Amino acid sequence: MGRAAALGMSILETNDPRTYSIIGAAMEVHMRRGPGFHETVYRDCCAIEFAERGIPYVTEALFPCSTGAIVWATTTERISSATTKSS
């Protein structure tokens, strides 16, 4: 738990300039692209916008998943694809 959460404050209440930079970049991408695209379009556009603004980022980072006894690493892309295929 971060300092802001521990104090019961939202991220925006901390006035963290990194937060404003990230949100500003994402809003710029959405204003330029508009609504209705697949999330991969916004992901790729955000990667370009972050790079242009010097914001460090990682795309499709691995993170641990668990069903109790079994633990594995996956990416959001794998989860997104699995969810889409089963729908």
The β-bridge partners of 66 are 71
pLDDT band, very low/low/confident/very high, at 2 (cuts 50, 70, 90):
low
Per-residue pLDDT for 41 more than 80? yes
Closest by CA position to 78, among listed 67, 69, 64, 47: 64
Q: How would you class 35 by CB atoms within 10 Å of its CB: exposed for 0-12, middle for 13-18, buried for 19 or more? A: exposed
Start-to-end C-alpha separation, the chain = 34
pLDDT given at position 64: 75
Where along the chain do its domains lie? Answer: 1-56, 60-87
| pLDDT (average), residues 10-37 | 85
37 phi and psi, to 5 degrees?
A: -85, 160
The pLDDT tens digits for 56-79 are 988 877 777 777 777 666 665 544
Q: Which amino acid is at 27?
A: M
